[in-house]
């Protein structure tokens, strides 16, 4: 990722945690960046440190944890959500048609080839790396105004407890990030489908057809997407149960389900403003998928119970 101005952007709060957009000069002054580079240069395939500096910008997160592994897990959770939100913001409703060559990820914001873990004094401690290898990283230029707009939107998501409906959306965006970063078509398709399962409140009691009903309720009167969810559901079942996958001539199958996911993510976020707990959301889906006759009967019975209490 690149900026159109030479100065670092500064800090942004993501899931109630400050992340800092730095530069390599500042990193060299505050931590053992050369040790990190020497450890990682074979992994990142950048024998010349200047190439590495030109292609990437450093993003730092300060985490207080019991050990390095716990700190790394927390930091990567935050960064995965951040990349997912970036891809959702800038690549929403974009599709990709079949192209020649090796498979490529859909998203333009990808995980870095390696991570450096430093202690509070800036001493280099450990190296971690991304298991998925990418042939190349696309240079994406964002303006300062774009980043300011992103900052104002992403900071509304606190690090909420598990019962808050925002937590479901955050998990869905993390899974969305994985789908956008996958460089294999079938994997991307299944990861997008898992996003729908999260937003459809998949559980021990809510599976299969109930999830589809929840998603269709969120889709509303969009006939095109309603038809697509039926097609995508059949493709998912064929892939999972029979190992069969469609061979389309024009567009990758994952692009169809991505269109549904992009739309449903927006609709689900609107619901989070109205229904703040998963219990409320479960009641909503339960009632919203009823026909008017059954809903009126349920309302009548509830009113009678309340009158007699």
pTM: 0.88
Q: Express each pLDDT in 140-156 by its tens digit.
A: 777 778 888 888 888 87
pLDDT, position 275: 92
Per-residue pLDDT at 207 exceeds 90: no
pLDDT higher for 93 or 74?
74
Q: Express each pLDDT in 47-79 by its tens digit.
A: 566 667 777 888 999 998 888 889 999 999 999
Every domain of the chain and the residues it spans: 1-161, 184-309
Lowest mean pLDDT, pick from 155-169, 213-227, 236-250? 236-250
Average of pLDDT values for 129-139? 78
- Among 146-160, 228-242, 270-284, the range with the most confident prediction by mean pLDDT is 270-284
Q: In whole angstroms, what is the distance from residue 206 CA to residue 292 CA? A: 22
Q: Check: CB of residue 189 under 8 Å from CB of residue 239.
A: yes
Q: Check: CB of residue 165 under 8 Å from CB of residue 281.
A: yes
Q: What is the DSSP string of 84-141?
A: HHHHHHHHTT---B--SSS---S-SS---SEEEEE-TT--EEEEEE-SS--S-----E
């Amino acid at each position: 990722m690149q900026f159109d101005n030479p100065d670092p952007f500064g800090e942004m709060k993501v899931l109630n945690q400050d992340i800092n957009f730095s530069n390599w000069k500042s990193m060299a002054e505050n931590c053992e960046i050369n040790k990190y580079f020497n450890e990682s240069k074979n992994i990142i395939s950048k024998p010349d440190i200047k190439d590495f500096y030109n292609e990437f910008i450093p993003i730092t997160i300060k985490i207080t944890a019991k050990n390095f592994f716990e700190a790394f897990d927390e930091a990567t959770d935050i960064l995965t959500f951040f990349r997912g939100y970036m891809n959702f913001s800038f690549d929403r409703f974009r599709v990709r048609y079949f192209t020649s060559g090796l498979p490529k990820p859909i998203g333009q914001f990808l995980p870095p080839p390696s991570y450096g873990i430093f202690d509070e004094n800036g001493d280099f401690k450990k190296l971690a790396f991304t298991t998925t290898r990418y042939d190349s990283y696309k240079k994406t230029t964002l303006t300062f105004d774009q980043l300011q707009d992103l900052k104002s939107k992403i900071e509304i998501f606190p690090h909420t407890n598990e019962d808050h409906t925002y937590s479901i959306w955050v998990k869905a965006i993390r899974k969305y990030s994985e789908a956008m970063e996958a460089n294999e078509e079938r994997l991307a398709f299944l990861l997008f489908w898992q996003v729908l399962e999260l937003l459809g409140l998949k559980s021990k009691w809510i599976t299969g057809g109930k999830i589809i009903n929840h998603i269709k309720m969120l889709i509303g009167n969009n006939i095109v997407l309603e038809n697509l969810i039926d097609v995508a559901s059949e493709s998912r079942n064929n892939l999972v149960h029979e190992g069969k996958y469609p061979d389309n001539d024009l567009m990758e199958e994952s692009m169809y389900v991505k269109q549904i996911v992009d739309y449903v993510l927006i609709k689900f976020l609107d619901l989070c403003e109205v229904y703040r707990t998963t219990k409320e959301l479960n009641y909503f889906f339960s009632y919203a998928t009823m026909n008017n006759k059954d809903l009126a009967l349920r309302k009548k019975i509830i009113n009678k119970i309340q009158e007699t209490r």
